[in-house]
Structure 1
């Protein structure tokens, strides 16, 4: 274990590592802020960090293709978590930063991570001009619509350019996204209309690729209920131009809580509350000594969605300090297309 990871274990609440993402259901304490209904977002400021909330992320996924027609997936995520609310200079900062980067090919999944302490310039986010960085990894640009992206790992790297082709999308009720029957919630919006192109550097060499990217922004202090143990999150882009974000949170009693957003090609949205969106596992893959669902039956009857979602590479396991499954998917059935799937809590 390297020195930076040892330091993180001392600084981070150990329960979060023990529980993985399900630790987001632990009580954050009254000192942290919590999301409230009817948010009034202020841009570009809200593209930046919110240090009075316990957890926050800038989460980008992309479906890519090269000139030969081979498909790839790409992930770049910067997380911020707080030991206490607020910010301070130097080592007095209570903010911890970590990041994940990954590339998925039809027969390989390459992933790596970085860690940093806030307050010392090693990682952070600036709203305008937009810059999110940790070490030499960065997502940055003059604004939130035009960006460059870079990351490096032991066995891969990428450099990309992104250009938004549509508006920001606000999930739930105007960006207030309820996550449980008990009322846990987050602030949640996306930019799902990025065109992306650039170069993947893989063990086989450099590959020019292009495709579509989806950037999620979310922050909260306790986004999950104490009775929730993980989630299945789908971002689906259909060939007819429409998009669907849907997730289900799995309860310890075997039930689920779901939410979805239907996105028209022009950016018009319709939110759907618990029960309207369904995701049922059809087949699993043995990966990292556990069974992980990698084929799903997904429905949103109000929009005629009745599709099968298949992992492009069922072995897309993020074997990192907090492990989870994340990778590109293909869509067949009533609608066709491509997308991304993230699954947590499969221990």
Structure 2
């Protein structure tokens, strides 16, 4: 085993260690000397910012899809690529590249939730991201764009999916023009989304049963060096498609003082940033999964917008059994508005 391979393995084991988990979920609250900080005032530029940002310690490209089969059955699909920098500095070539990539994928139905993960080293053709044309890949999992059509694919022993997507609206910048605060102590990320993806056609296979699907999808891209404060143990994140065409993103970072924020998105892509004092996220019902108890039904309110929603999971047992387990699954909601979306919960 070469020195660089040992460093890659050591970094991945560090992310899973109890010491690091005590400093924020998956080590995201520990110090990041030598890496670039997320600061206000940076203008996001596209397509360049679709690509990787090697000066930052952690980065992810995330897509969640709410899908419906021809028979009306509901499904969910998740595709995630994480880039983790082993140390500060330029990317390097070949095994001198300083990045490790980790892929997560999952497929969900009302009765099943199946998760898979994979690891690869950057710089040697196993994983990477390019901005124009956009392509993110790890092994044979890929997310790419060509001639206006986006394609995403993943496969594992118990599931597979291939989805073709069109973007029916603009990119959305969260927070202050893409600068997203995660705590009152200064931790932050750069964060934008494409919440207007329409799944025009696709196929999902779950435990040997294949279904043709269409639906809606939400893509997030986020990068940072220290996105959590040391006292924060995890987050609760909602990406919601309202039936009337609006979109809503809400998150809560749990710590000594909870930090909440969100974005209200009009059907034409115009946005309004939501502050902590406008939002309330209240767990309604827990689900026990192994030795963990997670809140899988929620009430979400935004008084300034007249929003009062109660969410229900498609499958309350949608726990992703990674090195740092987290819950990720499709939800529906009703109340002042109806719709569907995705919920992610970490650090429980």
Please state which band the TM-score falls in when normalised by the shorter chain.
over 0.9
1:13 Cα deviation after fit: 6.1
Question: After superposition, what is the alpha-carbon deviation per residue over 1:293-312, rounded to whole angstroms, capped at 9, x for unaligned?
Answer: 00101001111110101111
Question: Aligned ranges for residues 141-152 of structure 1 at < 5 Å?
Answer: 141-142=145-146, 145-152=148-155
2:203 paired residue among 191, 199, 202:
199
Asked whether the equivalents of residues 159 and 208 of structure 2 are also in contact (C-alpha less than 8 Å), the reply is: no
* Whole-angstrom CA distance in 2 between matches of 1:325 and 1:25: 20
Is the CA contact (8 Å cut-off) linking 1:248 and 1:278 kept in structure 2? no
Deviation, 1:35, is: 1.1
**Cα deviation digits, residues 253-284 of structure 1 (max 9, x gap):** 3x411000000111110001222221110110
- Aligned match of 1:113: 117
Give the 3-state SS of the residue equivalent to 1:149 in structure 2: strand
Note the 1:81-92 alignment, pairs <5 A.
Answer: 81-85=84-88, 86-92=90-96
Deviation string 1:50-91 (CA, Å, 9 cap, x unpaired) is 001000000000000011111110000000010112201111
Alpha-carbon distance in structure 1 between the residues aligned to 2:75 and 2:6: 33
Residue 209 of structure 1: which of 213, 216, 219 is its match?
A: 213
Task: Supply the distance in 1 between the matched residues of 2:163 and 2:193 (Cα, whole angstroms).
Answer: 19
Q: Map of 1:236-275 to 2, 5 A cutoff?
A: 236-251=240-255, 253=256, 255-275=257-277
Partner residue of 1:342? 344
The answer to whether the 8 A contact 2:282-2:300 is kept is yes
Unaligned runs of 5+ in 2: none
Q: Report the counterpart of residue 160 of structure 2 in structure 1.
A: 157
How many residues align structurally? 338
Q: Could you list the per-position Cα deviations for residues 169-222 of structure 1 after superposition, in whole angstroms to 9, with x for gaps in the alignment?
A: 000010000000111110000000001120001224211000000000100000
Q: State the superposition RMSD in angstroms.
A: 1.6
Tell me if structure 1 keeps the 8 A contact 2:261–2:276: yes
**181, 184, 201: which one aligns with 2:184:** 181
Deviation readout 1:103-153 (Å, 9 max, x if unpaired): 00001101100100111010000001111000110001227x521111111
Could you say which residue in structure 1 is the equivalent of 2:82?
79
What's the counterpart of residue 57 of structure 1?
60
Q: Does 1:330 align with 2:332?
A: yes
- Give 1:310's aligned residue: 312
TM-score, normalised by the number of residues in structure 1: 0.94
- In 1, Cα distance between equivalents of 2:259 and 2:26: 14
- The answer for the alignment partner of 1:169 in structure 2 is 172
Deviating above 6 A after TM superposition, structure 1's stretches of 4 or more consecutive aligned residues are none
What is the CA–CA distance in structure 2 between the aligned matches of 1:236 and 1:97, rounded to whole Å? 28
Unaligned 5+ segments in structure 1 are none
